[in-house]
Structure 1
Amino acid sequence: MRRYLGVQRVDAIRIIGGRPLEGSIYIQGSKNAALPMMAAALLHEGTTVLHNCPRIADVFCMEEILRELGADTFWEEHSLHIDCSRIGKSHVDQNYAKKMRSSVILLGALLGRKKEGTIGYPGGCVIGQRPVDLHLRVLRCLGAKIWQTEEGISADAKEMTGGEFIFPQRSVGATEQGILAAVRLPGVTKLYNCAQEPEILWLQKMLNEMGADVSGAQSGQICIYGGNALRDCEFWVPPDRIVAGTYLCASAITRGRLTIQNPPVGEIQAFLEVYRKMGGQYEFNSGKLLADSRRATKAVSFVETKEYPGFPTDLQSPLMAVLAVADGVSHIRENIFEDRFKTAWELNKMGATIQVSGQEARIEGCQNLRGATVEARELRGGAALMLAGLAADGETILTGSAYIDRGYERICEDMISLGGRIERYR
């Protein structure tokens, strides 16, 4: 929502539903892989190039933060060039940090590069408490001195060295924080019970391409031999597994057929298993994923979100939209975030029958949703409401579209290319 000359201006999307989506699509680069890679670029006094980097709001925000710290950046189509040879600052202002939770991982990178760092409290989507205590615990374990004020978190790395830390629970961001902080430290760092999401493995591969020595990402026990000299690097950002799952949900909710040109098949197995239970059919052929959703009409008795390789929490809302038009009753349990069912209330405005009790949602499928005015309140929930609009009878007005832009580069254009009737307006 923006204001110009005293007039309130609302970014919205108008959707006319009722058409099956059919066609071929290419998946953008991964948001969750690109952001820690951009933070890793800060560790090196030189140039990093990220190819296939998604041109989305969160990436632009991280780019702006790096530029504020002293980096030079420019784009060549989807290749982002980052020159961190002249980093002069070690403070990330609250106004930047509150826009995006991922900014907190810059603290570890700043400690590695500048031996000190200050960052405002991170923001982003409101889907629960999402504390940063694990981030601070791993940094303290490695010797960082940390103090917190009303303005943010400050840390000193003068006494940091390699060490060992056992995460009491798995956290993607805290794992990335520990890795980034340890790469330039003297000695060996061992991190146990780490998150095993694909983004951790891609960060490990990129850092090793830069000259670091990181191993164990697939095992959950990560070892970093710190202090290696880093070098310029060019790296290809992988396809976004959450975007791929979202587009498959778009196919399912409209009973369409979709060909994904560059599918991250190995990373979406948990989703494909649920898709199969709904009646969706798919095959992997010649590097492409062919999905037929014309029979994806069945309810799924029980789905629960888990850490990778389980069903991803980021696809819970899009799946809920699909199950809202399934035949029968489905149940979803959210195990990752305690406040990620906001989308249910908006879907109910469209004729869905969803009851939420604690961390579980009961979805009684219906034949048709109906168009309505709904509001996106977070990134993945916004995408789910767009999918619901594509399946609904009549017109849907979706406000809060800026949330969707944080993670999807061309979702409106992609849906239009598949036959969807969508337009943005203000």
Structure 2
Amino acid sequence: MDRIRIVGGNELNGSIPISGAKNAALPLMIASLLTDGTLSLDNVPHLADVEQLTRILGNHGVDYSVNGRREAQGSAYARTMNFTARNIVDTTAPYELVSKMRASFWVIGPLVARMGQARVSLPGGCAIGTRPVDLFIDGLRALGAEIDIDVGYVDARAPKGLIGNRYVFPKVSVGATHVLMMAATLAKGETVLENAAREPEVVNLAECLNAMGAKVSGAGTPTIVIDGVAALSGATHPVIPDRIETGTYAMAVAMTGGDVILEGARADLLEAALEAIEQAGTEVIRLDNGIRVRRKGGVIRPVDITTAPFPGFPTDLQAQFMGLMTRAQGRSHITETIFENRFMHVQELARLGARITLAGQTAIVDGVERLRGAPVMATDLRASVSLVIGGLAAEGETIVNRIYHLDRGFERLEEKLSGCGAIVERLSE
């Protein structure tokens, strides 16, 4: 099993190209099930989750092709992937596939909308919380689907098609917003989704659906209106730059010091996180086609943050910001409101010398003068990269184990960091 070795103490200087967003690419790929035309997606990152979803879509009969590798500045690359669901050969998503990636459950919306039926395995639990699918089921029922749950599978049927309706999400859910928005594009009549997620990835999906011929308005606000159409066509659409990768590298620069341009990053996708980084004493300069992050001298100041749905501070950057706060001069409070069990990185950061105590949903971080390298274990995708941030500033060598988590969401992380002066390498057994 691969590991990452980090020797801390180097500033980061240079540039890092920001990849396409995993959290945007996955629902866009699933949207290909809505049409028999070809959906071409630009700027698709090369990640384990993307490869896994490609296999899952292939199980349903989706053909795909990749338009080579387009070299970007630096050594990261983007791809154009083409998905064609001309013939859906199977409307069942089996447990052995869905259990490997929760987002694969989202195929239930497009399948029942286009084919009138879907049988999808329940995804089960998750390392950072249960994340139940009741909102997906309730929302599809509101659109007229008949749904039964039988021996671990959700059976959804709408033989005469879905019917537009009003649905109020009892709590904000990005995944459920994706699914119901996709399903409603082929429903008869108007669908109104209230208390919908406002995340940039939802907007990116809505723009893609409209390029395919859907009639979606209001994405990015709490109320999304979808006028159903009889059929969708193929389209070409770009994946937005990854705001979580952007924030992660910005925090890495804030941790180590240095001066890095994050090429292609969009500040408007993560203003709450950038403001927190600025409050911590790092300069953030918003450019026309990227973000410059600079800390030349000066201390890391403590900052209190609370995670919240967009436009609030992203839960997917909570672990990374905690890593930054371990070196702050003073005490900070980090409150997690989105997922339970999302503090599993605390004990691993403590192995590097961090001083963190937990009080319910809040982590109290007392900054220390220095961290020391040690072997650590990644527990989930975002927690794993918080350990990388800690290791970049730690004295000596840090070995991050179980980095298959990192490969799910960060494209060529060690190459991007080493290109800016970090001593980071992958160790393969």
**Shorter-chain TM-score category?**
over 0.9
> Cα distance, 1:112 vs. partner?
1.3
SS in 1 for 2:14: strand
Alignment partner of 1:210 out of 208, 212, 220: 212
Residue in 1 aligned with 2:144? 143
Residue in 2 aligned with 1:46? 37
Q: 2-side partners of 1:163 and 1:419: how far apart? A: 54
Residue in 2 aligned with 1:80? 81
Tell whether 2:36 aligns with 1:29. no
Q: 2-side partners of 1:248 and 1:263: how far apart? A: 11
Q: 2-side partners of 1:322 and 1:172: how far apart? A: 27
> For 1:35-80, what per-residue CA distance to the aligned partner results, in whole angstroms no more than 9, with x for missing partners?
1101111100111110100110111111111111111112122111
> Cα distance, 1:352 vs. partner?
0.3
Letter in structure 2 aligned against 1:373: P
Q: 1-side partners of 2:126 and 2:412: how far apart? A: 20
CA gap 1:213/1:296 in 2 versus in 1, 3 angstroms: farther
> Cα distance, 1:301 vs. partner?
4.1
Structure 1 unaligned runs (5+)? 1-9
Contact 1:47/1:232 (8 A) holds in 2: yes
- Comparing 302-311 with 218-227, greater Cα deviation is found at 218-227
> Cα distance, 1:87 vs. partner?
1.6
Contact 1:99/1:123 (8 A) holds in 2: no
CA gap 1:209/1:124 in 2 versus in 1, 3 angstroms: farther
SS in 1 for 2:129: coil
Q: 2-side partners of 1:38 and 1:311: how far apart? A: 26
Q: 2-side partners of 1:197 and 1:389: how far apart? A: 30
Residue in 1 aligned with 2:394? 392
> Cα distance, 1:296 vs. partner?
6.2
Residue in 2 aligned with 1:332? 334
> For 1:292-342, what per-residue CA distance to the aligned partner results, in whole angstroms no more than 9, with x for missing partners?
123563333421000100000000000000000111111100010111000
Residue in 1 aligned with 2:159? 158
Contact 2:254/2:293 (8 A) holds in 1: no
Residue in 2 aligned with 1:369? 371
> Cα distance, 1:123 vs. partner?
5.4
Residue in 2 aligned with 1:107? 108
> For 1:216-258, what per-residue CA distance to the aligned partner results, in whole angstroms no more than 9, with x for missing partners?
1122111111124311211111100000000001111111211
* TM-score, length-scaled by structure 1: 0.95
SS in 1 for 2:34: coil
Letter in structure 1 aligned against 2:132: P
Contact 2:302/2:329 (8 A) holds in 1: no
Q: 1-side partners of 2:46 and 2:175: how far apart? A: 21
Alignment partner of 1:268 out of 254, 267, 270: 270
Contact 2:279/2:303 (8 A) holds in 1: no
Structure 1 segment 92-103 matched on structure 2, within 5 A: 92-103=93-104
Contact 1:190/1:222 (8 A) holds in 2: yes
- Comparing 240-249 with 113-122, greater Cα deviation is found at 113-122
Q: 2-side partners of 1:281 and 1:301: how far apart? A: 15
> Cα distance, 1:129 vs. partner?
1.6
Contact 1:275/1:296 (8 A) holds in 2: no
Contact 1:175/1:195 (8 A) holds in 2: yes
Structure 1 segment 296-307 matched on structure 2, within 5 A: 297-307=299-309
> For 1:240-281, what per-residue CA distance to the aligned partner results, in whole angstroms no more than 9, with x for missing partners?
000000000111111121111211111111011101110011
CA gap 1:125/1:417 in 2 versus in 1, 3 angstroms: farther
Residue in 1 aligned with 2:406? 404
- Comparing 261-270 with 288-297, greater Cα deviation is found at 288-297
* TM-score, length-scaled by structure 2: 0.95
> For 1:383-403, what per-residue CA distance to the aligned partner results, in whole angstroms no more than 9, with x for missing partners?
111111111111111111001
> Cα distance, 1:124 vs. partner?
7.9
> Cα distance, 1:189 vs. partner?
0.8
SS in 1 for 2:44: coil
Structure 2 unaligned runs (5+)? 70-78
Contact 2:266/2:290 (8 A) holds in 1: no
Residue in 2 aligned with 1:55? 46
Q: 2-side partners of 1:145 and 1:399: how far apart? A: 45
CA gap 1:282/1:205 in 2 versus in 1, 3 angstroms: same
SS in 2 for 1:13: strand
Contact 1:99/1:124 (8 A) holds in 2: no
SS in 1 for 2:177: helix
Letter in structure 2 aligned against 1:15: I
Contact 2:391/2:398 (8 A) holds in 1: yes
> For 1:148-168, what per-residue CA distance to the aligned partner results, in whole angstroms no more than 9, with x for missing partners?
123321111225311110111
Q: 1-side partners of 2:24 and 2:39: how far apart? A: 15
Contact 1:278/1:296 (8 A) holds in 2: no
Q: 2-side partners of 1:123 and 1:61: how far apart? A: 17
Residue in 1 aligned with 2:62? 71
> Cα distance, 1:412 vs. partner?
1.0
Contact 1:213/1:228 (8 A) holds in 2: no
CA gap 1:399/1:32 in 2 versus in 1, 3 angstroms: same
